[in-house]
Amino acid sequence: MNRASGRGVLAALSIVVALLMMGGSASAAYKPYSLTITTAGTTYNSQAGITGSGQTVTITATIVNEDSQQQLGSVDLYVPSSISVLGTPSISLPAPAYVTCGDSACSELDLRNLALPYQGAVTVTVTARTAACVSGQQTWQSVVKQANDFSGSPGNDFNLDTGDSTLYTTLDGACKLTFVKEPASAQVGAGITSIAYNPAGAPISVEVLGPSGTTAVPGSQATVDLAPGTGTPGTLGGVTSAVADGSSAALATFTSASGNGPTLSQPGLGDTLVASSGTLSSATSTSFDVQTVVATCQSGSSCTAQLGSTSNNASLSLSSGTDPGTLVGSQFTSSALESSICAGYASTDPNVYDSQFISSTSSSRTETDTLQFAPAKALKGGTPEILKDQQICFGSTVPFVTASGAEATPTTIDGVTIYAGILPTCTGSTSGPCHDRRQDTTVPDINSPTGYDIVLVDILPALWAADPYRC
């Protein structure tokens, strides 16, 4: 009785152990499959493993059943967020197998009725748009089941064979910016556009370029920011940020509803703007000038503009001759001029006169500079000595011949190269700027409480060969 009972217990234990072993084996069954993602495009290939960002591409996903015991029935394939499926995906198997989008955005591809045997394969092909200017690996994910209708417990799931799989679409992110409409010269505080000294001109625009470096990224909505370039003085205000328009041109345009563009708060010569957007390669504009004063002259007329400071101000006038012109001017500090432009110049006149950098767009003109001094800067000596032996130190962004007959010496002010030297006396030469000393004048009362004026007339001959502002 005890032996029989013992044998019964052992038999029961054997059955239980056998059942446990069978149950453990079924739940831990390893059913492998592989997933391979490849990409094809016009400027890259799948062998390179790199896909152009912001491009339309053809992507294929190939699933292979590597399990010799079970058929592979269905797949849910998840598309990376940086990739947008366009149109209807296609499948390599005949009906009843099919593929469909699992949601309205087609961020999930549902493959059904596959019934893949051991070593059987299915390929899904999609046309897709990759996100503009995104870089790095974009991972595809999948869930695979035995059942053709994607039913069953997790125990029916297949297991990804990572050693045989390629799960990534790698975007190159090689986008960059380029100026399409470059900034042109402007007045301090006025909108900078692509037309010189015209705040209402065509606005500055920047394009988002794709991996080729020559073709725009269609549909880009990248945010582009502007900042002053190296050596550009002042603060950038106004419209400093713009979003690419999402069109095939991918243009960010810097203008407001009122037509105003970016502005700079200080004058400068050879200024630049830098456009940037996240990790995109930035772009630096061509150089332009920002002037303190701007005045437009019509043909055959004159115009004036005012420069000022706490100690003195200047009135600039232009006779435009036969061409319309724009008078522009910016005032450097006397200390900068004395230490740079006029360094080493010795005059028998005991006085030092502040100066301005002046130029114009007119091709035939006479410029008259009136320096108005406050009483605190009383002249030394009597009235007859004023300007008696003083010569005019002139600065320009282009070379010219000085009174000595030599070319002007280049110097640097505020990071800008300026050619400077003593102006020759006008003798009818058309080789460069000159000073008409016969028209130098003063007011007789140098002790006037309202100050006094010194008028200097600079003759810039028609079509001065080196004049960048000539018409």
pLDDT tens per residue across span 114-126:
999 999 999 999 9
DSSP of 387-450: TSS---EEEESS--B-TTSSBPEEEEETTEEEEEEEPPBPSS--SS-EE-GGG-EE-S-TT-TT
CA atoms of 416 and 232, how far apart (whole Å): 9
What pLDDT was estimated at residue 371? 54
Smallest CA-to-CA distance from 327 within 300, 303, 292 is with 303
Is the predicted pLDDT of residue 83 greater than 60, yes or no? yes
> Of 367, 422, 417, which is closest to residue 397 (Cα–Cα)?
417
The Cα 413–Cα 289 span in angstroms is 13
Rounded CA separation 295/56 (Å): 51
Asked whether the beta carbons of 89 and 107 are under 8 A apart, the reply is: no
Count of positions (residues) in the chain:
471
> Which comes out higher in pLDDT, residue 453 or 24?
453
Q: Which two tokens stand for residue 103?
A: 């949601």
> Over 50: is that where the pLDDT of 43 sits?
no
| Cis? peptide before 96, omega within 30° of 0 | yes
pLDDT tens digit sequence for 284-299: 999 988 887 777 666 5
pLDDT tens per residue, range 338-379: 445 555 555 555 555 444 444 444 444 455 555 555 444 555
The answer to whether residues 52 and 130 touch, using CB atoms and an 8 Å cutoff, is: yes
Q: Is the pLDDT of residue 46 over 70?
A: no
Q: Per-residue pLDDT averaged across 226-235, rounded?
A: 92
| Nearest alpha carbon to residue 318 among 370, 394, 390 | 370
Beta bridge partners of 459: 366, 434
Take residue 454 and report the two structure tokens written for it.
């010194």
Token digits of residue 216: 């725009």
- How far is residue 164's CA from residue 153's CA, in Å, rounded to a whole number? 25
Segment among 36-40, 74-78, 129-133 with least mean pLDDT: 129-133
Whether pLDDT at 308 is above 60: no
pLDDT at res. 225: 94
Q: Are 111 and 156 in contact (CB under 8 A)?
A: no
Of the ranges 43-47, 273-277, 452-456, which one carries the lowest mean pLDDT score? Answer: 43-47
pLDDT above 90: residue 105: yes
Indicate whether 181 pLDDT > 90: yes
Tell me the C-alpha distance between 40 and 49, whole Å.
10
Residue 391 has pLDDT above 50, yes or no: yes
Q: Any residues with CB less than 8 A from the CB of 283 and at least 6 apart, and which?
A: 176, 177, 178, 179, 206, 274, 275
Cα–Cα–Cα angle for 182, 183, 188, rounded to 5 degrees: 180
The verdict on pTM exceeding 0.75 is no
Specify whether the CB–CB gap between 37 and 83 falls below 8 A. Answer: no
Distance between CA 174 and CA 214 in Å, rounded?
12
Helix (H) or strand (E) holding 33, with range, is strand 32-40
Q: What pLDDT, on the 0 to 100 scale, is given for residue 466? A: 44
Query: With 80 as the cut, is the pLDDT of residue 80 above it?
Result: yes
**142-171 confidence digits (pLDDT tens):** 999 999 999 988 888 999 999 999 998 888
Q: What percent of the chain lies above the pLDDT cut of 90?
A: 34
